[in-house]
Structures are given as structure tokens and as C-alpha cells.
């Protein structure tokens, strides 16, 4: 499978994402933000970092870069897109995902391992995560507090669009386990069509046990499985 | 009502404007930037530092913010002023922190602090005010603010 990892000025998790995909046995390449075409791509990763210096608002300026127009079209055609951390912020700013990410409630930058409960396996990003498995992955953000108005939250719940919630080590979704004040402990969501997802935690930094956890690989394994199912369906 | 200094200007009645974001950075990023260069010329003014320090006197100094600057003899340029504030329903931890600091300092009667942004856009002299207002409203909705979490107020000053 071919992964396109976007690269904006001040992206800083782009190489990590490429490394993670390659060491999981698939191909990945970087796509510069000024490119207006993605080329042969099965899945787009919008990586973490501080695109355009986080000027104005996180992701606000990256959204207007040429490559994002191509990503929008790719998503409109049903392509898989996953935004990690700053990538999540870019996708919400671009309107590809609902809601917004605002300052952490304690105003501090959090750089630590957290625990994630997978709310549903019904998405290309979660289908391979073992039932009941609590994912231990790192976060590193100052503006990861998920916000959406009441009707949007109701819609997210009704359509089963909440993919991951912050939880404690035994999987309880509690306020104490919420690192940033995100509404409903939301760590990651997908769009209504379920082909675009975003999450604040960094699965690409947790794909090898030498890094302290390899739980992040389950998210990528899910994407690989979804893409393989798709290519089998297309061949048939 | 105390006066608060914002980006070398004195702002009244806008609460705390924590970040002064100049739109000059946008042409820098996308390559363009006539406005930017003019702005930079202004910022190299020897009065820059003193204007920040003595906000109220800044506007009296010659050669400040377009007044009597080469190319714009004796003219004030048009400006669009945009004040962006968080929506009421959105958590504003910065505002809350500042509010509790004010209370600890003994300031009474503070019932809320809301931290937003103030953006100033310089417009070429003679710009049509109605057209500018329309265009900047559009820009404010698409880029300058995020309608999911923020409201904005726009004013065109001549």
C-alpha cells in the first residue's frame, strides 16, 4: 500500500510517520505542501507538528495550501485520510472533520503517554484493534481540547463517529484520565462517511516496543486491512 | 476603565487582547507582500520602542503608523480592524486564569475575562469602503476566525 505523508513548513512528525509505515511493511513517501497532486496514493497521513508555525490558529493556514485541495478531492472520492495531532487540527480547519481543537484546559503542553479506549471497530481506522484493548500511546500537544457545539456532539454520538476516548488504564472514561479537557474525553473522531479520521495522540510514535509501546500499530494495521479489503473488492 | 496596550497602540474597551497578530505574515507565507514591506518599513521606526513603552504618546510622534511616511504624504491610510473573541460556549482557560489573577491582585467586580485576538489590516488609500468591508468579512469568516469557536467584529477605519 502507498501512503502519502504531507509535509508542511514546521511539520515535525512526518519522518516518524514514514518510518512507522515502512517498518510495518508498506511504502510511504513525503508530499510537499506546494504539490497540487498526490500521485499514486492509497492513504494520506496529515502528520503532527506546527504547520506554518501555528500562526493565527493551529492548522488555519495549512488548510489553504495547494496540497490540501488535492487531499480534499481525494477524500471526496472516498480515499482514506488520517490526521495526527496537528494533522487533526488541519482537518478540522479544512472542514473535513467537525469541531475544533482549542487550548488545553490547564494551559500546559502535555507530552506523556495516555490510554485510549476504542469506541467502535466500525471504521477503517479501528477495525483491527482487538476488542477491549486499551491502547497506550503518547500525546504531545498544547491545543488538543476537542470542542464542538451540542448538535455536533449529538450527531457524532448518533453516527458512531467517536473513535477514541481518553481513559484510565482499565478503560474507564473519567475526567482524571482526560489530559486536555476534551468534551466527552474525545481523542479521535471520523467523518460521517468514515473515510477521514483525526486524533490528537501519536500512534506513529508507538509502533515499536523499543519506543515504550507498540500499541499504535493497531491503528495502522486497521488501515492496511481496510485498504486490502478495498483492493480485493475492486479486483473482484 | 484602564487602558491596555496592544501592539504599540492603546486599546480601550476590548478587554484583554493577548495576541497582536499582524496580517503582514500572510503575504510572507504565500509570496506576495507589498503590504508587508510597507509595514516593515514602519516597524523599523526609531520610535518603535518608545511607542510601546509610552503607548499614549505614540500617536503624537511623527512618522508613526503611516503618518507623514514617504509615499503617503500627510495621509492616514484606511485600516480594517478585526476583534476576534471566543464564543460564549467555548472554554476559555486563558481568560479564567487572568480573571483569577486579577481577583488575587485585589481588583473587584471582574465578572469575566475573555481573551481573543486583534488584527489590523492596512488598506491602500482610496479603497472602496463597502467593497473592502465585504471582502474582509469574507476573509474573517474563512481564515481570520474559526466560526466553530470564535466570533468577530469588524470595523473599517479611515
Catalytic residue, from A85, A145, A190, A207: name it.
A85
Tally of structural domains, chain B: 1
A85 is catalytic: yes
Question: Which residue range(s) make up the domain with A127?
Answer: 2-235
Question: Which CATH number do you get for residue B146?
Answer: 3.30.1280.10
Digit-coded pLDDT (tens) for B72-113? 544 567 899 999 999 988 989 999 999 999 999 999 999 999
> Is position B93 within any domain?
yes
Question: Which residue range(s) make up the domain with B122?
Answer: 4-32+76-157
Confirm if A41 and A67 have CB atoms less than 8 A apart: no
> Is position B52 within any domain?
no
- Residue identified by cell 476504542 is A118
> Is position B99 within any domain?
yes
Contact: A52, B29; criterion CB under 8 Å:
yes
Q: What percent of chain B has pLDDT over 70?
A: 52
> Which chain B residue shows the shortest CA-CA distance from A90?
B146
Q: What percent of chain A has pLDDT over 70?
A: 100
Grid coordinates given for A66: 495547494
Q: Does the ipTM surpass 0.90?
A: no
Between A100 and B22, residue with greater pLDDT: A100
Residues of A in contact with B97 (CB under 8 A): 107
For residue B151, the SS3 value is strand
Minimal Cβ distance to B91: which of A52, A56, A181: A181
For residue B123, the SS3 value is strand
> Which chain A residue shows the shortest CA-CA distance from B27?
A61
> Is position B57 within any domain?
no
Question: Which CATH number do you get for residue A159?
Answer: 3.40.50.880
**Chains A–B, number of C-beta pairs less than 8 Å apart:** 44
Contacts of B130 (CB under 8 A, 6+ apart): none
Grid coordinates given for A132: 477491549
Closest Cα of chain A to B51: distance in Å?
25
Digit-coded pLDDT (tens) for B52-76? 333 333 344 444 444 444 445 445 6
Tally of structural domains, chain A: 1
Amino acid at each position: 500500500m502507498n501512503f502519502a505523508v504531507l509535509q508542511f513548513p514546521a511539520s515535525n512528525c512526518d519522518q516518524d510517520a514514514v518510518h512507522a509505515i515502512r517498518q510495518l511493511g508498506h511504502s510511504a513517501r513525503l508530499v510537499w505542501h506546494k504539490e497540487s497532486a498526490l500521485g499514486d496514493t492509497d492513504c494520506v497521513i496529515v502528520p503532527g507538528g506546527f504547520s506554518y508555525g501555528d500562526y493565527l490558529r493551529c492548522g488555519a493556514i495549512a488548510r489553504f495550501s495547494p496540497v490540501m485541495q488535492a487531499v480534499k478531492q481525494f477524500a471526496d472520492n472516498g480515499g482514506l485520510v488520517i490526521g495526527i495531532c496537528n494533522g487533526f487540527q488541519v482537518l478540522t480547519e479544512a472542514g473535513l472533520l467537525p469541531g475544533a481543537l482549542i487550548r488545553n484546559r490547564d494551559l500546559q503542553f502535555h507530552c506523556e503517554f495516555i490510554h485510549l479506549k476504542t469506541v467502535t471497530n466500525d471504521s477503517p481506522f479501528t477495525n483491527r484493534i482487538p476488542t477491549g484493548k486499551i491502547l497506550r500511546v503518547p500525546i504531545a500537544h498544547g491545543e488538543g481540547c476537542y470542542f464542538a457545539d451540542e448538535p455536533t456532539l449529538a450527531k457524532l454520538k448518533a453516527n458512531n463517529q467517536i473513535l477514541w476516548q481518553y481513559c484510565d488504564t482499565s478503560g474507564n472514561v473519567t475526567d482524571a484520565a482526560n489530559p486536555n479537557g476534551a468534551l466527552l474525553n474525545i481523542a479521535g473522531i471520523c467523518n460521517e462517511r468514515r473515510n477521514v479520521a483525526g486524533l490528537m495522540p501519536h500512534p506513529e510514535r508507538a509502533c515499536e516496543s523499543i519506543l515504550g509501546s507498540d500499541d499504535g500499530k493497531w491503528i495502522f494495521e486497521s488501515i492496511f486491512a481496510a485498504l486490502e479489503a478495498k483492493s480485493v473488492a475492486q479486483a473482484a | 476603565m484602564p487602558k491596555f496596550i496592544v501592539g504599540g497602540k492603546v486599546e480601550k474597551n476590548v478587554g484583554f487582547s493577548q495576541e497582536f497578530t499582524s496580517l503582514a505574515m500572510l503575504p510572507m507565507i504565500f509570496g506576495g507582500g507589498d503590504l508587508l514591506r510597507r509595514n516593515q518599513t514602519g516597524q523599523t521606526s526609531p520610535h518603535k520602542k518608545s511607542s510601546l513603552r509610552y503607548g499614549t504618546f505614540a500617536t503624537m510622534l511623527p512618522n508613526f503608523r503611516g503618518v507623514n511616511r514617504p509615499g503617503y504624504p500627510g495621509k492616514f491610510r484606511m485600516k480594517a480592524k478585526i476583534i476576534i473573541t471566543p464564543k460564549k460556549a467555548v472554554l476559555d482557560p486563558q481568560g479564567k486564569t487572568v480573571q483569577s489573577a486579577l481577583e488575587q491582585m485585589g481588583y473587584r467586580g471582574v465578572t469575566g475575562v475573555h481573551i481573543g485576538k486583534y488584527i489590523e489590516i492596512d488598506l491602500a488609500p482610496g479603497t472602496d469602503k463597502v467593497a473592502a468591508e465585504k471582502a474582509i468579512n469574507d476573509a474573517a469568516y474563512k481564515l481570520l476566525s474559526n466560526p466553530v469557536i470564535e466570533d468577530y467584529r469588524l470595523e473599517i477605519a479611515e
